[in-house]
Amino acid sequence: MKSTILERYPCTDSGQYIIDINAGEISYLYNDFDKYTPYVRKELDDDLVDYLIESASELDKEAFIIRLNLVTPPVESMKSRITASINSYFLYLKTIEIEELGRNIRTSLIFFIIGLTLLSLSVWVNEQLTIDASVITKVFAEGLTVAAWVSMWEALANFLVNWAPFTRRIKLYERIATAPVQFISTPANADQI
């Protein structure tokens, strides 16, 4: 299955896969609302970002480059600005994921502390119970135990289930941010196959 996916991407002589982007003009790489922002801080076009993420995900751990096909070849200073903007945008996405992971860890920790507190309270209440304790008191003590385990389970499940996707996205954004960017140009009137 993976070899079928990899066949969709051309390969360089050095064995790096190529994520081809036929943008036409430089302005197509960026969102329209950012017209007057310097390129390094511009928001990349949503479709471009989605395409890069999807392609890099398909390539998994394979080395890749990003190749931009533009009608007019950009000057060297523009090439470095475009490369820097792709780099900074995906590093920005990586930072957001790291912050979300931190929030997820804090939430899990809060649930775990609440669970430990409830469990301690449950143990203390159960030790205080006598044989002739009322049904309501016994139900309350059991409820504390259940609430404690539910809270601790939520903490563990939240951490274990969400940890892997966060770290996967962090690594993916890092790979895209550090991928080499090449530029080629195809005239607008060139024959399309």
Position 193 pLDDT exceeds 50: no
Domain ranges (residues) in the chain: 2-185
pLDDT digits (tens, 9 = 90+) for 81-126: 889 889 999 999 999 999 999 999 999 999 999 999 999 998 888 8
CA neighbor of 109 nearest in space, from 64, 155, 151: 155
- List the helix and strand counts (H, then E) for the chain: 4, 3
The whole-model pTM stands at 0.78
For residues 50 and 57, what is the distance between their CA atoms, to the nearest angstrom?
Answer: 10
Backbone angles phi, psi at 157, to 5 degrees: -65, -45
pLDDT of residue 59: 93
**In the chain, % of residues over pLDDT 70:** 90
* Burial (Cβ within 10 Å: 0-12, 13-18, ≥19) of residue 148: buried
The type of residue at 133 is: A
For residues 107 and 105, what is the distance between their CA atoms, to the nearest angstrom?
Answer: 5
Position 32 pLDDT exceeds 70: no
pLDDT of residue 188: 59
Highest mean pLDDT among 27-36, 120-129, 150-159: 150-159
The model's confidence at residue 28, banded by pLDDT at 50, 70 and 90, is: confident
Beta bridge partners of 64: 17
Backbone angles phi, psi at 75, to 5 degrees: -70, 165
Residue 179 DSSP symbol? S
CA neighbor of 113 nearest in space, from 142, 143, 141, 151: 151
The type of residue at 56 is: A
Chain centroid, CA 40 distance in Å: 21
Position 65 pLDDT exceeds 50: yes
- Strand, helix or coil at 67? strand
* Contact (Cβ atoms closer than 8 angstroms) between residue 87 and residue 177: yes
